Chains A and B, each alone.
Chain A
Amino acid sequence: MQPTLRRRLLVVLASLTLALLLSDLAGSGVADGVRRAGGLVLGPVQRALAGAPRDELAAVEGENTRLRAVTAEQQHRLDELGRLDELLGSSVTTGRTLIPARVVATHLSPLGGRSVTIDVGSRDGIRADSTVVAAEGLVGRVVAVSPWTSDVQVLGSAGSVVAVRVGPAGTLGTVSPSAPGDSESRPRGSLRLSSVVPSTPVVGDVVRTLGSIDETPYAAGIVVGTVTAVDPDRGQLTRSATVRPAVDADAIDVVAVLVPSARSAPRAATRATQTAAGTPR
């Protein structure tokens, strides 16, 4: 190739790249198309390389994880059921459907924080903004879907904010990564909990997701983590605290994607009754 031609090619390609970078920063849809193309072409190769095995052992392992997730789910539902039972005397629960998946690649971006790729995609019924959970609790949400793989934004990535309920009382708050402007120093990998209402979180409180409409992007009642330290009172209106995530972001392997299920049946009105013991049932 001629040197001048090569120089011209370099300039053209560099300008194209710069244009794509700017359009992505501006939030244009072109960049998403490029992303999907990358996943479409290279996703199957990654699945093969990561040895997503189809043998008996892997099937049993996957089944095991699914069952453990179901057990955790059932336990939580039992707790919730008990509380609701106490309050009203009856309850309405909705079933939750899971798609098990394996992590096939991880990426630490300087801007977006940590994201992982899982080996299920739109052909398996995954849609963007689905909740991703592990057996221990919340992992994150699906941000991009290609036919065979999907990219997951892990809890604690820059820009991921989760609405939560804290402790047994269910105080409202938000969990976000500790930003550079944060006044407190937090251990690596832990998150910042800011209360919405004036209340003080207690060390040891379990933090669960508040849930969104139609369970996207976050389903309700999934464990996010535990409060490990409460920031000192500096006269601010609401208190903030440090939360240790339930899922270790460095060791995510088998996860499950929740299939959002909108409630279709109307909830029946119930009547609270007082028992002889004086405790509402």
Chain B
Amino acid sequence: MRPTLLGLLRTAYVLVTALVVATLLPRLGVQPRWVPDLVLVGVVATAVLRGPVHGALVGLLAGWVVQLVPPVGSPLGLTPLVMMVAGLVAGSFRCTSSRSRLRAPVALLAAAVVVLVGRLGSAVLAEGGVEPADDLWRLVATVAVGGLLLPPLLALDRALVRRRLG
């Protein structure tokens, strides 16, 4: 497997957004509840074009990047597994025949719900503390930003594949 321009861009996107979400946005005074999950948007953009297995793989690797950006979360490996399931779910929305504009946002909504359920579920199981309202707002912010961000990401992906750079 040789490195492609698309692969490099995808890695850079995940790294940069993971750092921005953890470091830059809180630094700029954005409330935690309004910080969108930009990494998830990138995972969904890849997953809806390539299917469940590829989506799960990308989700797992992106989850590891998110997990390893300090402060490293307490159950190491939980975020990658949840993101893997989210990528798997988003990938199951792939449909080569239809080119509906709504498919990608719906896949993002499903993936964001998976992440939300993962957070709530682990909090319930381990008796941790979580604010369901904040997490719901975060989901809304993610879907709203994803609705704007997904079409250009998908167009870029398609254009690079067409030019044999993916």
Contact of B119 among A38, A110, A177 (CB under 8 A): A110
9 closest Cβ pairs, A-B complex: A21-B77, A112-B74, A38-B68, A110-B123, A24-B76, A111-B128, A107-B71, A20-B77, A35-B72
Asked if B145 is an interface residue, CB under 8 A from chain A, the answer is no
Asked if B78 is an interface residue, CB under 8 A from chain A, the answer is yes
Asked if B139 is an interface residue, CB under 8 A from chain A, the answer is no
Question: Which residues of A lie under 8 Å from residue B19 when comparing CB positions?
Answer: 42, 45-46, 49
Is B69 within 8 A of A105, CB to CB?
A: yes
Cross-chain pairs A/B with CB under 8 angstroms, 17 sampled: A3-B53, A10-B84, A13-B60, A17-B84, A20-B76, A21-B76, A24-B74, A24-B76, A45-B19, A49-B20, A106-B22, A111-B78, A112-B74, A144-B72, A146-B70, A149-B70, A158-B129
Within 8 A of B (CB), among A152-209: 152, 158, 177, 179-180, 188
Number of chain A residues whose Cβ lies closer than 8 Å to a Cβ of chain B: 51
Can you add 20 more A-B contacts, CB < 8 Å, to A17-B80, A24-B74, A46-B69? A6-B53, A6-B54, A7-B53, A10-B53, A17-B81, A20-B76, A21-B81, A24-B75, A24-B77, A34-B72, A38-B68, A41-B68, A49-B20, A105-B23, A106-B32, A109-B74, A115-B74, A149-B70, A151-B71, A177-B129
Asked if A113 is an interface residue, CB under 8 A from chain B, the answer is yes
Question: Which residues of A lie under 8 Å from residue B120 when comparing CB positions?
Answer: 110
Asked if B24 is an interface residue, CB under 8 A from chain A, the answer is yes
In the complex, how many residue pairs between chain A and chain B have their CB atoms under 8 Å apart? 136
Question: Which residues of B lie under 8 Å from residue A158 when comparing CB positions?
Answer: 126-129
Contact of A42 among B27, B69, B81, B127 (CB under 8 A): B69
Question: Which residues of A lie under 8 Å from residue B13 when comparing CB positions?
Answer: none
Asked if A117 is an interface residue, CB under 8 A from chain B, the answer is yes
Is B22 within 8 A of A46, CB to CB?
A: yes
- A2 and B22 CA atoms in complex are apart in Å by 35
- A188 and B129 CA atoms in complex are apart in Å by 11
A10 (CB) vs chain B CBs: closest residue = B57
Known contacts A6-B53, A18-B77, A24-B77; A43/B70 CB under 8 A:
yes
Q: How far is the CB of B1 from chain A (nearest CB, A)?
A: 6
Is B76 within 8 A of A180, CB to CB?
A: no
Residue among B32, B53, B69, B77 with most chain A CB within 10 A = B77
Question: Which residues of A lie under 8 Å from residue B57 when comparing CB positions?
Answer: 6, 9-10, 13
Asked if B95 is an interface residue, CB under 8 A from chain A, the answer is no
